[in-house]
Structure 1
Amino acid sequence: IKYDLKLCCLLTHMFQLNLPVCLKPPDIPHASVSEESRKRGYEQGDLLYYTCDTGYVSGPTITYICSSKSWKPVRAGELKPCELPDDTPNGYYQIIQGDDFVFGTTIKYFCNSGYQMVSKVQTRTCLLNKWTNHVPICEPVSCSPPTVQEGLIVRGLPDNDGPILSDRFITFSCADRSKYLSGSSELICGQDGEWSGTFPSCEDITCQAQKPLPPLYVTGLPPANEKMKYGHKLRFLCDSRYTLFGVTEVECLETGQWSAAFPTCREPVGCGMPPPLEFGDVQSSLQSSYDHGERVEYSCQSYYTLDGQTHKTCSNGQWTGEMRCIRPCTVTQDDMRRKNIELRYKSDPKIYSRHRDFVTFSCTRGRHDGRLAMRQQCIDGEMLLPSCQ
């Protein structure tokens, strides 16, 4: 029994001597175990050396020792710091990779509102002795000048072809009244250097019309129903058996619309009794109704003069034709006695003179005062009388 116990203790001691004390090496950021110190297992007292990754320094070599079944550090590595990066006017920077201004840290530059980055490279990285790249440059945001089409008026551009900065408004209009502005009449240069919309253009103002169906006919319509430009005119007429209702002519306006609705053709309608004529009469017997196209003749009373047409015509329910009866002039013996005058060629107690007739007077006593001529004309029922003293 004593022999077996002694053998067991000897085997246990031998097994403990061969079993590794420290197993997995510690994980050190930005460093790895050197080749010369790497092995499968580590016993107490073994040293472990680390090599820093590129860009990192540790001063003395990072060293760990296997002690009491664990690794204990002898020296830890530190990153090499960089000088503070330069600022850029009208902009700022932010760290986009890393936590401090040390080797490997990357920063990115941004521009303030109203400014834009003109440098192609916007980042810088801290190396062993300096920052990479030049400091990016921020310039005021500007928009490209508009492409000016012939006939397009642009207002609001800077003088002397200066830069178009953000928040500047420009307006557009067309020089030719026969064209309209297709697009926005106002654009603004945005904070991003882009215009608020696309540039407008000047297009021909056109109106459309299709060939009407009979009995309505139109002249001035182009072939193949092409669009007609501003100022173009169309004229309408109806078949002889129909009457035109509406305008006879329309024009293409600057709104792209026609000046009036297109007319229509309808069968004509008759008329009622013709209207009366003051100081005149209808020459024929009156009827209660008349057909389209019928005429009625008028005449004036004695000594009245007919001025205008001699007849009215029934035209699609309306009487057309204008005339009037003009009054004659009347001169009595009392009128002439007060003026000391008399008719030179008559001795009637009362005379009637038609419109535009002339009458000659002479003095009954005294002499002509010369203020009015002794020969006067009747005008629309009025005649001036000379006088003698």
Structure 2
Amino acid sequence: MRLFNVWLFILWMNVDESLQQGAIRCGHPGDAQFADFRLEQGDDFVFGSKVVYTCHKGYQMMSRRNFRTCMADGWDAVVPVCEASQCPPIPVGNNVQVFGDTDEATFGNVVRFSCKSSREILEGPEEVYCDETGQWSGQPPTCTAVKCKVPMIPNGFVSENKQKYYEDEVLPFECNDKYKPSEDRPSRCMKTGQRVDWSPTPGCEPIKCKLKLPPLEGTSYTPEYTNLFLPGDSVTVRCGDRYGITDRQVETADVLCKKDGEWEIQPVCREVICLKQAPHVRQWYDMWRRAVIHDMVDYYCESGYQKPHGVTRATCTRGGWRPDPLCEEIPNTGTCLLRTDPDAVIQNSKAEYGYNEQIHYVCSAGRGQFSLTCSEDGWFGFRNGSEPTDCGSPPPLPDGDVRYTMRSQYKHCEQVEYMCQTYYTMEGEPYRTCVDGEWTGHMRCLKPCIVNEDIFRQHNITLQTNDKPFFIHDEILAFKCARGSPSGRVAMSQRCSSGEVFLPSCS
């Protein structure tokens, strides 16, 4: 026994000497997947050293031991095992749409949510993720009906006793005295993405009248330094040479700001124009060109009327066409004897005709009809001579054309028919007749009125029915105020007159 103890002592001394000399080494302890290790005990991988393994973020230790020790015969135990942290299943309602794996999610997995119905909105997070501890970053959301809470409105109040409003419902509110709604549009409960709010935001602002700055062409204001005015204030509007205010007449006007924050009349100068229509004017030169102030335009009077002495053209002024009237009745100064035509039958035959009286012919074989007028110099529209003369091609019709193929020569009493372009209106009979080398008969194609939203907005008006892009001549246009009330002297219903129409204004 004494000999055995001596042997053990000698063995221990040898081991201790070997350790001191670095003879027993364990080598690398082994890498663990998803983990790192550190030397916790000892200076090297030698007998007695201890390494501790730590799992990466989001992973958890599955082994019972997280360390290994260097023994005389190598590292004890096995390399520890780390696995990803797993989050528990997420319970969601049937009306919640889920994007991602809610049953077997591991660290880093993201789950997103939305509502299946567009009439509902999420209450809670739009997404959650599985964290390093195996827990979800938030509670799952729910889907509820879109609804808005009653807002607090400075200088205003909600006019009904209701605590919640659902999608598309309008908030009824009123403003305190001397305040008005900030927006013209009603405030509705609206969903935008995952946000529910009132649109536009309900609010009240002090009642003021506003001017558009910089002013439109031909318009200037006094005072010039502000564009906001309180009720009772006024602004002086001055118009340029070619512009006018209050039905386009006066050059200067003082416009009052009313209690409701609207102007008494629209403080805007508009270009003065003259419509090409006047009593007993048969035809205008360049009919379709717009006439503005100071323009001078040639015109022709109806049969039996003449221009005032010394007048050659009409002048557009702020007060309309000058001179007024443009056409005066010609006094009766003579008579005309019956004039027969071998190619026509007279409908109102008699021996003598008074001044400005007409004789009516119907061409033989039904080829047309024409009339001659008794004038100071005899029959107007029929040249003297025993044999009637043929005619060349009929004259062109602006915005119209001959219905059938045009020829270069027509017989006396022969007739051609005209037609207007689409949407234009024929004024007068659609026929011209060759009478002794000249074409008789007068017609014209009257323009339609085209809807111009930009001009309507300048007058603060719109059509009562806005499904038509145009109105034919003589058709009635019924207007209404876009906001405010009618102002000025122009009625809210106007007649289309050859492409032009007087526009009312609202303020």
TM-score range, shorter chain: 0.3 to 0.5
Question: For the pair shown, which has the larger CA radius of gyration, 1 or 2?
Answer: 1
What is the TM-score of this pair, normalised by structure 1?
A: 0.35
Give the TM-score normalised by the residue count of structure 2.
0.29
